[in-house]
């Protein structure tokens, strides 16, 4: 394992060099010193350390930095390394801000500049903080042992990463992988193996087994609720926060992982309140913790397969036969990426072909040629993210350019990154490889001309399909399967067939009274994180109206 890191960040080059020099002189043998010249650069360094499974012991940040000051940086850094000790470097005039930061970011200490001599003003403080960090028990570690090019191994890692469960990836062919398998009395045919924090070895675990052993809740505490929310993407999380905060008994049911497609985003830069951007994982984690703080329950790996009921109560049945009931339901199941229909790709899924932004794979793409299929924001965000690691990122789009489907800020970012190349009017004709993807055949959609490229990495972001096949026929949908709500259910001034109430459906209400839809699953919704959160909140206000009018 690499030495734990001490990170220093200051936009003044002279001060940055001085603090890094003084820290390295005293602690360089036992700690790796990482230096950054801005809050944004420091956060990116922390994300890379997080992805590599490394530890950060201490962060020293200057208070006065443009765009992101030291307090803002430390607040964001807490999401990545909550156990790291935090120090603010400040001038005498800013001591009030430093004192305020003690509560805001749980600041451990602030140092006045200059700190000369370091033997008196710097080292005693850092010594104390490092001793405290070393004495803090490390969080339990989950280890995943598997093959590099294995779809089941990737599925386990992706599930843990998307549920924000810390784990360490161990390749079975490496010495540590062999030792872990031998200790568990297992062989290579058992992979993937998950070794939990308490030492239990799970052989080829299902997602439900994983959830139960890594602390994720899978069992509801009650049989009846005021509201059941199906789907924990931005719309579902927004509904959970508002419902629980307003006193409704709330349970949020997710089949796979919180965050939905937004949770897979490497960087969301146009979400209100985050001027420096926020990763989908960070936004998801904050929303999840916020909902749970208000009392909402969160169930994972629970697939809803049936919905029934009337205007008085609704029953949701899970795949294992158990069920929960509620006065109201919010459908926030979102959408899934369409499968790329080209020969050779299906058998390579999870082995070089990935759907969505598989951030766990980003460090492995270092100095590689990466291909991304899609022209919307999710594809653009992935291209910018993977460009930090890859030798070159190739963005394949069927249209003439990006302007029809991608936000302008992302287009400008992509144009400014020399290692991203956009290929217009290009589609994937087929994929080939033995144990993993090795080459792609690309086709010009205008001329039909084909060419072959060597690559082991392709990430697909094409279109969206609503997750509505399990819903009852009583819930009306459009020709593409998206749920119709409110005014869209009224035709020629008439309410939907079978509608039992003497009023029109509320704006987000489906053709089943008391069942609401929010976010991407709803027909003609705006496919943006902010609008999904807003619809989740609006659904709760309509639920109050529904409950009061029964």
Q: What's the alpha-carbon Rg for the chain, to the nearest Å? A: 25
Q: What is the pTM of this model?
A: 0.78
Q: How many distinct structural domains can be found in the chain?
A: 4
pLDDT, tens only, 176-189: 888 888 888 888 88
pLDDT at 198 over 90: no
Please check whether residues 440 and 370 belong to one and the same domain: yes
To the nearest 10 degrees (0 to 180), the angle between helices 234-245 and 280-293 is 20
* Cβ proximity of 11 and 66 under 8 Å: yes
State residue 431's pLDDT score. 96
pLDDT band at 206 (very low <50, low <70, confident <90, very high): very high
CATH number at residue 21: 3.40.50.2300
CA separation for the pair 233, 250 (Å, rounded): 15
pLDDT-derived band of residue 82, with 50, 70 and 90 as boundaries?
Answer: confident
Q: Domain containing 200 — which CATH number?
A: 3.40.30.10
Task: Answer with the residue of higher pLDDT: 49 or 443.
Answer: 443
Domain end among 135, 166, 186: 135
- Asked if pLDDT for residue 267 goes beyond 90, the answer is no
> Phi/psi of residue 81, each to 5°?
-135, 80
Average pLDDT over the chain, rounded to an integer: 90
Alpha-helix residue ranges (DSSP H) falling in 360-420? 377-386, 408-415
Residues 81, 66 within the same domain: yes
User: CB under 8 Å to 29, separation ≥6 — which residues?
Assistant: none
pLDDT band at 511 (very low <50, low <70, confident <90, very high): very high
For strands 56-62 and 85-90, give the pairing.
parallel
**352 C-beta neighbours (distance < 10 Å), count:** 24
Tell me, what's the pLDDT at 438? 96
Q: Are residues 332 and 350 in the same domain?
A: no
* Claim to verify: residue 378 and residue 444 sit in the same structural domain: yes
> Residue 139 — pLDDT band, cuts 50, 70, 90?
low
User: Exposed (0-12), middle (13-18) or buried (19+): which is 269, by Cβ within 10 Å?
Assistant: middle
Contact 495, 505 (CB under 8 A): yes
Quote the tokens at residue 230. Answer: 């199906």
CA angle 182, 183, 184 (to 5 degrees): 90
Q: In this structure, are 177 and 288 located in the same domain?
A: no
pLDDT in tens, 343-377: 999 999 999 999 887 777 877 888 899 999 999 99
**Residue 492, domain member (yes or no):** no
Identify the bridge partners of residue 35 per DSSP, sorted by sequence position: 8
Distance, CA of 42 to CA of 60 (rounded, Å): 11
- More confident site: 42 or 198: 42
- Looking up residue 238, the CATH number of its domain turns out to be 3.50.50.60
Each residue's pLDDT tens digit, 237-265:
999 999 999 999 999 999 988 888 887 78
* Pair of tokens at residue 73: 């940086």
Q: In this structure, are 123 and 146 located in the same domain?
A: no
- Count, in order, helices (H) and strands (E) of the chain: 15, 26
Above pLDDT 70, what percent of the chain?
A: 96
281 in the same domain as 208:
no
Judge if 9 and 130 occupy the same domain.
yes
* Residue 299: pLDDT over 60: yes
Structural domain that includes position 471: 224-336+466-477+499-549
pLDDT at 484: 97
Asked whether the bond before 114 is cis by omega within 30 degrees of 0, the reply is yes
């Amino acid at each position: 394992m690499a030495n734990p890191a001490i990170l220093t960040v200051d936009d003044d080059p002279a001060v940055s060099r001085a603090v890094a020099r003084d820290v390295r002189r005293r602690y360089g043998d036992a700690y790796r010193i990482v230096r950054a010249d801005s809050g944004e650069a420091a956060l990116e360094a922390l994300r890379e350390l997080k992805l590599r499974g490394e530890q950060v012991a201490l962060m020293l940040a200057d208070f006065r930095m443009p765009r992101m000051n030291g307090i803002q940086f430390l607040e964001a850094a807490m999401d990545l390394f909550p156990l790291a000790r935090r120090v603010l470097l400040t001038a005498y005039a800013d001591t009030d801000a430093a004192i305020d930061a003690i509560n805001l970011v749980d600041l451990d200490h602030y140092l006045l500049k200059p700190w000369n001599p370091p033997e008196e003003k710097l080292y005693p403080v850092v010594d104390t903080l490092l001793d405290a960090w070393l004495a803090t028990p490390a969080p339990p570690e989950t280890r995943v042992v598997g093959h590099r090019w294995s779809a089941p191994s990737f599925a386990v890692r992706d599930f843990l990463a998307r549920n924000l469960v810390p784990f360490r990836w161990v390749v079975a062919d490496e010495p540590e992988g062999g030792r872990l398998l031998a200790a568990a009395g297992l062989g290579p045919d058992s992979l993937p193996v998950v070794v939990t924090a308490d030492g239990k070895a799970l052989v080829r675990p299902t997602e439900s087994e994983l959830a139960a052993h890594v602390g994720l809740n899978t069992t509801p505490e009650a049989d009846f609720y005021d509201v059941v929310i199906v789907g924990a993407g931005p719309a579902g999380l927004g509904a959970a926060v508002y419902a629980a905060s307003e006193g409704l008994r709330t349970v949020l049911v997710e089949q796979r992982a919180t965050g939905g497609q937004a949770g897979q985003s490497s960087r969301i830069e146009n979400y209100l309140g985050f001027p420096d951007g926020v990763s989908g994982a960070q936004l998801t984690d904050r929303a999840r913790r916020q909902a749970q703080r208000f009392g909402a329950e969160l169930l994972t790996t629970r697939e809803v397969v049936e919905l029934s009921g009337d205007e008085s109560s609704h029953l949701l049945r899970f795949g294992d036969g158990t069920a929960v009931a509620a006065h109201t339901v919010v459908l926030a199941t979102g959408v899934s990426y369409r499968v790329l229909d080209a020969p050779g790709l299906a058998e390579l899924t999870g082995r070089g072909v990935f759907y969505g932004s598989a951030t766990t794979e980003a460090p492995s793409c270092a100095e590689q040629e990466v291909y991304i299929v899609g022209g919307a924001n999710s594809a653009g965000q992935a291209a910018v993210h993977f460009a930090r690691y890859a030798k070159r990122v190739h963005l394949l789009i069927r249209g003439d350019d990006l302007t029809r489907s991608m936000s302008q800020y992302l287009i400008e970012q992509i144009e400014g990154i020399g290692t991203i190349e956009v290929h217009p009017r290009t589609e994937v004709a087929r994929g080939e490889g033995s144990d993993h993807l090795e080459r792609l055949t690309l086709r010009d959609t205008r001329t039909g001309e084909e060419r072959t490229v060597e690559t082991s990495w392709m990430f697909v972001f094409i279109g969206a399909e609503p997750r509505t096949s399990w819903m009852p026929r009583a819930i009306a949908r459009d020709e593409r399967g998206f749920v119709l709500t409110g005014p869209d259910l009224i035709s020629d001034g008439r309410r939907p067939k079978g509608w039992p109430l003497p009023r029109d459906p509320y704006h987000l209400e489906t053709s089943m009274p008391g069942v609401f839809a929010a976010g991407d699953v709803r027909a003609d919704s705006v496919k943006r994180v902010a609008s999904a959160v807003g619809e989740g909140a609006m659904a709760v206000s309509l639920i109050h109206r529904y409950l009061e009018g029964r």
